Homo-oligomer: A and B are copies of this chain.
Amino acid sequence: MSSAIDRFLQENLEAYLQQTIRLCAQPSVSATGEGVEACAGLVKQTLQQHGFQTWKIEGYGNPVIVGRARGRSERTLLFYNHYDVQPPEPLELWDSPPFEPQIREGKLFARGAKDDKGEFMARLAAVDAVRAAHGGELPCGVLFVVEGNEEVGSPGIARFVQDHLDLLRCDGAIWEEGGIDFEERPGTSLGRRGILAVELEVQTLSRDAHSGSAHILPSAAWRMVRVLASLKDENERILIPGFYDDVKPISELDLELLRRLPDNEPYLRATFEVRGFVGGLTGFELKKAVFNPTCNIQGITTGYQGPGNKTVIPAKASAKLDFRLVPNQDPTDILKKLRTHLDAEGFTDVRITYTDYMFPARSEADHPLVRLAAKAAEEVYQKPYQLIPLTGGSSPVYAFARPLGIPVIDAGVGFGITNRTHAPNENIRIQDFHNAARHIARILDGFAGIWG
Q: Contact residues of A with B, CB < 8 Å?
A: 193, 195, 197, 199, 204-207, 209-219, 221-222, 224-226, 228-229, 232, 234, 268, 271-278, 281, 286, 289-290, 292, 294-305, 308-315, 317, 320, 322, 324, 349, 355-356, 391-394
Contacts and interface: CB of A to CB of B under 8 A. Distances in A.
- Copies of this polypeptide in the complex: 2
Nearest to A206: B273
A303 B292 contact: no
Given A212-B392, A272-B315, 17 more contacts: A197-B309, A205-B274, A213-B392, A214-B295, A215-B289, A221-B297, A225-B229, A297-B302, A297-B303, A298-B304, A298-B312, A299-B310, A299-B312, A299-B314, A300-B303, A308-B355, A309-B322
B218 A278 contact: yes
20 contacts: A195-B311, A199-B309, A206-B272, A211-B298, A212-B324, A212-B391, A214-B296, A216-B277, A217-B268, A217-B278, A218-B274, A229-B229, A296-B311, A297-B303, A298-B310, A299-B310, A300-B302, A300-B303, A309-B320, A311-B322
Given A229-B229, A273-B205, A311-B197, A216 B286 contact: yes
Closest 4 CB pairs of A and B: A299-B303, A212-B393, A212-B392, A221-B297
B273 A324 contact: no
A310 B197 CA distance: 9
A365 B347 CA distance: 42
Most chain B CB within a 10 A radius of its CB, from A215, A294, A301: A215
A192 B214 CA distance: 14
B281 A393 contact: no
B304 A221 contact: no
B298 A320 contact: no
A219 B297 contact: yes
Most chain B CB within a 10 A radius of its CB, from A229, A234, A356: A229
Contacts of A392: 210, 212-215
A298 B304 CA distance: 6
Contacts of A204: 274-275
Given A297-B219, A309-B320, A355-B308, A212 B394 contact: yes
